[in-house]
């Protein structure tokens, strides 16, 4: 097989080029080729400098993740990086696209870095539950200081080239499109000068002079890092870069790296990395299906959901026409959208020009006729089949042929909605999650007649608006809410049997969810869907509403809230629950946290198995993607199905059996056969 690395001598400069699509991952052949390139430079006396560059869309995007967990094949990346740095001829990294992880480490091992303005550099290993393993944690702080290195290593977000230049991570910016030429000229200009080696840098002393930066960083980012092992290891490694020699520091990094690599968190997060990418592929729909151009989007309903959905498209530069029935509702809805944008600008994440630019793409209307030339219309009206059918019949009459008609329903039957039109092939569900401008998940609901190009267009569009899309079949609640209802059912039963509702919430918090079901109820509003008759009380929720306990917005719901929205369990609610339990003749008992956890989570796994069995989800990993992005399932466990694999399907089945809960045929047979979902 030919090597992905080629070399070319241009005068006195050796240009080493990698061509390993799609992202120039640093697999064995690439590492081998790089090492040989550096050896060639050492041997040839005519070569006085070296440039390392990549063809294709990006500089090295990191180690080849598919090699992880397999027997290592030399040369290792640390060896290659050390060989580059040891070169006595100046080596320049010429960076475009993304220099990530091992790719950034290669760049750090080079003596100089030159990048085009659109390039980004970063160490995203924490997002895979790891830390850099080719001396990135040791070279980076020595080059740019521990304080600047900490967010890059422990949070993992890449920095754009301009910022990289400012913090000293790159030496010069090249002209877009002239990178190779600029890099060669830059390399020539360094011939004969003393060679700066990153491992010998001293910027890391900032952390020794001011050791508080590490605790301050931990305190500032505690919420983001909660439950994850890798960020703490990353902080420890960066700290070690200031305290230890380079050799001892890299040994420390290796020890931390190896421990993380063999742990469950990294396994789970690597599973998620590939799961997110797999979710974008649709069974039976070819990757080269021709797409429907989407240049204008219509949204029906300017409420919280409609407005949030519209913002996704406006932010991506796609014009939106938003329709309401009354002028007042239209004004209110568009006002809220502007306010949301302005709040983002206040937090520095947008400029006021960008706010105005996004809002200028919005056309509010009361007239269906204005939707006629839209390429996609998304309906976000009241959840009633009759209302939805009426809207779709009207859309069918008004909107041009070939346009996609989508419903944002969270549980209604898409096939029935599609039957209200003469073009069911162009109808599908696009289920956004609230707040729709923030939440990453998009369930793309495939009706029985939905055309391939309609699906493929929706998946592509989801990427453009920054969503993670998962295809679901038509079933009540689709993938996410269908599983949620099983968890809620158990949560409600548990509190009737004697579990404290705050213990139920705390079990999920301890598991890694941002909040539990009762906190979630308080946040969303207990009165959603309430009949508004305080004399009609048949459920705990209705009793709470009758007592004015509408949730956080009322200062009280399941919990009492102070001004800072801290929650305290309420005696009143405890009594309400106890009254209901005694009326129902429920015996009260102490329920352990283990039982609570099993009863909340195992039925979700069982429902996931049924969803797979019925073909409502294409693959188990899609279910994981739904729960991680839509419901706050902790990423470091890999999602419900991967988590079930980790604890063992036999343990899940035994737990369900012991609590007298349903076990689907497929889950039981998988467990008996010792199989996994993923």
Q: Are 207 and 147 in contact (CB under 8 A)?
A: yes
DSSP string, 346-412: HTTSS-HHHHHHHHHTEEEES-GGGGTT-SEEEE---S-HHHHHHHHHHHHHHSPTT-EEEE--SSS
Q: Are 653 and 667 in contact (CB under 8 A)?
A: yes
Comparing C-alpha atoms, which of 198, 115, 124 is closest to residue 161? 115
Residues of this chain that bind ligand 3H9 (CB under 6 A): 22-23, 25, 58, 61-66, 77, 98, 100-102, 105, 124-125, 128, 132-134, 136, 274, 277
C-alpha distances (whole Å) from 584 to each of 516, 518, 538, 587 are 25, 21, 11, 9
Here the tokens at position 165 are: 């230049």
Rounded (10°) angle between helices 593-613 and 640-647: 120
Residue 108 or 547 having the CB closest to ligand 3H9: 108
Of 48, 85, 105, 147, which is the active-site residue?
Answer: 105
Q: How far apart are CA 207 and CA 226, in angstroms?
A: 23
390 is catalytic: no
Residue 128 or 391 having the CB closest to ligand 3H9: 128
Give, as one character, the DSSP assignment of residue 529. Answer: T
Nearest-approach distance from CB 452 to ligand 3H9, in angstroms = 19
Here the tokens at position 293 are: 């151009």
Residue 102 or 639 having the CB closest to ligand 3H9: 102
Any idea which residue has 């952390």 for tokens?
Answer: 207
Nearest-approach distance from CB 101 to ligand 3H9, in angstroms = 2
404-407 and 5-10 beta bridge pairing: unpaired
Residue 54 or 94 having the CB closest to ligand 3H9: 54
Nearest-approach distance from CB 113 to ligand 3H9, in angstroms = 17
Radius of gyration over every alpha carbon of the chain, rounded to an integer in angstroms: 28
Residue 80 or 609 having the CB closest to ligand 3H9: 80
Nearest-approach distance from CB 191 to ligand 3H9, in angstroms = 30
Q: How far apart are CA 276 and CA 265, in angstroms?
A: 16
Nearest-approach distance from CB 259 to ligand 3H9, in angstroms = 14
Write the secondary structure of 39-89 as one string of H (helix), E (strand) and C (coil): HHHHHCCCCCEEEEEECCCCCCCCECHHHCCCCCCCCCHHHHHHHHHHCCC
Nearest-approach distance from CB 58 to ligand 3H9, in angstroms = 6
Residue 66 or 73 having the CB closest to ligand 3H9: 66
Residue 48 or 64 having the CB closest to ligand 3H9: 64
Q: How far apart are CA 454 and CA 289, in angstroms?
A: 10
Residue 66 or 568 having the CB closest to ligand 3H9: 66
Nearest-approach distance from CB 281 to ligand 3H9, in angstroms = 7
Q: How far apart are CA 148 and CA 153, in angstroms?
A: 9
Nearest-approach distance from CB 184 to ligand 3H9, in angstroms = 25
Of 85, 125, 147, 253, which is the active-site residue?
Answer: 125
Comparing C-alpha atoms, which of 603, 640, 607 is closest to residue 625? 640
The C-alpha torsion from 262 through 624 and 151 to 97, rounded to 10°, is 100
Q: Are 581 and 588 in contact (CB under 8 A)?
A: yes
36 is catalytic: no
The catalytic residue positions are 105, 125
């Amino acid at each position: 097989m030919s090597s992905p690395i080629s070399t070319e001598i241009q005068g006195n400069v050796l240009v080493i080029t990698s061509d390993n699509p799609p992202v120039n991952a640093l697999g064995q052949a690439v590492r081998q080729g790089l090492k040989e390139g550096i050896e060639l430079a050492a041997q040839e006396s005519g070569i006085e400098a070296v440039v390392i560059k990549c063809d294709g869309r990006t500089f090295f995007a990191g180690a080849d993740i598919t090699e992880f967990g397999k027997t290592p094949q030399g040369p290792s990346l640390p060896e290659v990086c050390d060989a580059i740095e040891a070169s006595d001829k100046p080596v320049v990294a010429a960076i475009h696209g993304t220099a990530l992880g091992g790719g950034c480490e290669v760049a750090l091992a080079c003596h100089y870095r030159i990048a085009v303005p659109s390039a980004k550099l970063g160490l995203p290993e924490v997002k895979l539950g790891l830390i850099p393993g080719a001396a990135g944690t040791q070279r980076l702080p020595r080059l740019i200081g521990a304080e600047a290195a900490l967010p890059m290593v422990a949070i993992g977000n890449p920095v754009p080239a301009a910022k990289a230049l400012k913090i000293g991570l790159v030496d010069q910016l090249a002209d877009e499109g002239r990178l190779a030429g600029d890099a060669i000229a830059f390399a020539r200009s360094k011939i004969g000068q003393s060679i700066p080696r990153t491992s010998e840098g001293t910027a890391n002393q900032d952390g020794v002079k001011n050791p508080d930066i590490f605790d301050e960083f931990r305190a500032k980012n505690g919420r983001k890092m909660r439950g994850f092992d890798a960020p703490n290891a990353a902080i420890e490694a960066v700290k070690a870069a200031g305290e230890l020699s380079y050799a001892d520091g890299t040994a420390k990094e290796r020890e931390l790296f190896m421990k993380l690599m063999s742990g469950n968190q990294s396994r789970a997060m690597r599973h998620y990395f590939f799961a997110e990418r797999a979710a974008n592929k649709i069974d039976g729909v070819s990757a080269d299906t021709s797409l429907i151009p989407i240049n204008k989007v219509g949204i029906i309903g300017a409420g919280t959901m409609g407005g949030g959905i519209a913002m996704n498209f406006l932010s991506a530069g796609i014009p939106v026409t938003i329709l309401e029935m009354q002028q007042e509702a239209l004004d209110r809805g568009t006002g809220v959208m502007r306010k949301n944008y302005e709040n983002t600008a206040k937090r520095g994440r947008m400029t006021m020009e960008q706010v105005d630019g996004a809002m200028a793409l919005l056309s509010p209307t009361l007239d269906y006729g204005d939707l006629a030339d839209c390429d996609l219309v998304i309906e976000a009206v009241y959840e009633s089949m009759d209302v939805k059918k009426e809207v779709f019949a009207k859309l069918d009459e008004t909107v041009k042929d070939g346009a996609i008609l989508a419903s944002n329903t969270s549980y209604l039957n898409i096939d029935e909605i599609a039957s209200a039109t003469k073009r069911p092939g162009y109808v599908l569900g696009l289920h956004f999650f609230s707040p729709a401008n923030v939440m990453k998940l998009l369930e793309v609901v495939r009706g029985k007649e939905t055309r391939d190009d309609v699906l493929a267009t929706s998946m592509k569009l989801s990427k453009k608006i920054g969503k993670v899309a998962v295809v679901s079949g038509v079933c009540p609640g689709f993938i996410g809410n269908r599983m949620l209802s099983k968890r809620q059912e158990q949560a409600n039963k548990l509190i009737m049997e004697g579990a404290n509702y705050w213990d139920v919430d705390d079990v999920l918090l301890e598991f890694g969810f941002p909040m539990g079901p009762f906190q979630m109820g308080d946040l969303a509003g207990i009165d959603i869907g309430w009949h508004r008759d305080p004399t009609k009380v048949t459920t705990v929720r209705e009793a709470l509403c009758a007592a004015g306990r509408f949730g956080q917005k009322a200062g009280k719901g399941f919990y009492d809230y102070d001004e800072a929205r801290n929650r305290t369990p309420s005696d009143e609610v405890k009594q309400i629950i106890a009254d209901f339990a005694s009326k129902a003749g429920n015996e009260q008992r102490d329920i352990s946290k283990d039982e609570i956890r099993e009863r909340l989570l195992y039925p979700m796994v069982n429902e996931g198995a049924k969803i797979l069995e019925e073909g409502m989800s294409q693959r188990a990993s899609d279910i994981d993607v739904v729960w991680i992005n839509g419901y706050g399932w902790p990423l470091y466990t890999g999602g419900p199905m991967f988590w079930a694999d980790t604890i063992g399907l036999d343990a899940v089945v035994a737990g369900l059996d012991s609590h007298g809960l349903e076990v689907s045929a497929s889950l039981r047979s998988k467990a008996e056969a010792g199989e996994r979902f993923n």
